[in-house]
Amino acid sequence: MSTQALRPTGKVLPEHARAHHRSMVLQHLFHTGPVSRADLARATGLTRVTISDLVTSLQTDGLVTELGAAPGGRVGKPATLVGLRDDAFQVVAVDLTDDEHMHGAVLDVFGTVVERRSTPLDGRTGDAVVEALIGLCRDLVALATYRVLGVGVASPGVIDASGTVLEAPNRAWYEVPLAALVSEALGLPVHVGNDANAAVLGELTYGGASPDGLLALTVGEGVGAGIVLDGRLVAGHRHAAGELGHVTVVDDRDDVDDAPLGQAQTCACGRRGCLETVLSVPALRRRVAGLEERAAAVALASVGRRLGIVLAPVVSALNLADVVMSGPAELLAGPLRDTALATLRERTMPVISEGLSLRMTTLGEDGALSGAAVLVLSGQLGVS
């Protein structure tokens, strides 16, 4: 059984193959650092001739440069190192997850934040948010010290492949072609993705997570998840993959002895017992408010158990390698995580749980932001 697409889709022109090979070279340089042309040839399976040709074209485009002779005295002609230029471009990224402020940044090739700017939303919705977003992007573009490769936006809501926000109730956006609007205003390539999907891309690219079975769980005002399988983002039938926040986890019929968790709460979505009613920053803060440490740990553990119960079927169905959580570490990193992992191990078979890790992100608060940058790298250069 091969891992290729089951159903061939779309024609492949020579130029597409060329772009693919360029991406392979960039990808290798991006993750491995400077190497020789001969090494690139061995890594990609292409010939040295073809690699030389590709490198020349990448040099012409200013993306890579020669970096002198490789150290280490081996037999044969010394290799010339080729590496990504760190002054080739920068990327503008904006994270719209927060309901109060838009957080933006200029990042360099390696995902390091060079400049930050934020704008308060001040209760704006709809077109006014789009206006404010464009303004913030203009400011950030002006702050960039090199060419801006593109703009990446991580937004809550359901977003399709073209960067149209199908629905984002918190911003009062419905069928808003956000990518097209911002791109039109700035004259730059713009890529828009769901914030949880951006977060998972951030983990994949900058967090060192596994490309063949990764789920990134973002806990903020609500809960969202992004999933990468076999190196591909899972979009879902209607672009709504990862909507784990409104799965029922507290059931009035169960849990009579799960005293710490209490009764099912009504959720903002109108239903009862959703994951978000227990696993969100406000809900967790309410839960631990005024409790002494031991009691707080028990309370967080009971939420962790529910998380484990929800994740167990997902982890089993997909045979995931990594689950990465982001959000306030003081709430998530301790008993909540430990209990979630223990519950996952209890409730899945060994072949599944043995290969699994559940951990906090190493990207801090910038998961979605750097993921938005990855949207640009991936969309413009095929690098992630």
> What is the smallest separation between the CB atom of 182 and its own copies, expressed in angstroms?
14
Helix axes 37-44, 48-60, angle to 10 degrees: 120
Taking CB under 8 A as the rule, does residue 11 contact its own copies? yes
Our finding on whether 64 is near its own copies (CB under 8 A) is no
DSSP assignments along 134-184, one per residue: HHHHHHHHHH-SS-EEEEEEEESSEE-TTS-EEEEGGGTEEEE-HHHHHHH
**Residue with Cβ nearer its own copies (70 or 229):** 229
What's the number of CA atoms in the CB half-sphere (13 Å) around residue 72?
7
Q: Which stretch binds its own copies (CB under 8 A): 75-83, 156-164, 296-304, 331-339?
A: 156-164
Candidate list 88, 106, 192, 299; residue touching its own copies; CB under 8 A? 192
Closer CB to its own copies, residue 114 or residue 321? 321
Q: Using the rule CB under 8 A, which residue among 112, 118, 170, 316 binds its own copies?
A: 316
Contact stretch for its own copies (CB under 8 A) within 5-13, 63-71, 78-86, 109-117 = 5-13
Residue 22 C-beta: closest distance to DNA, Å:
8
Q: How many CB atoms lie within 10 A of CB 12?
A: 9
Question: DSSP 3-state assignment of 368?
Answer: helix
Q: Which of residues 36-95 bind DNA (CB under 7 A)?
A: 36-39, 45-50, 52-55, 69, 73-80
Closest CB to its own copies among residues 138, 239: 239
CA atoms within 13 A on the CB side of 45: 2
Helix (H), strand (E), coil (C) string for 6-58: CCCCCCCCHHHHHHHHHHHHHHHHHHHCCEEHHHHHHHHCCCHHHHHHHHHHH
Check binding of 277 to its own copies (CB under 8 A): no
- Report 5-44 residues binding DNA (CB under 7 A): 11-15, 17-18, 21, 36-39
Q: Is the dihedral of CA 86, 88, 92, 95 positive or negative?
A: negative
**Positions that interact with DNA (CB under 7 A):** 11-15, 17-18, 21, 36-39, 45-50, 52-55, 69, 73-80
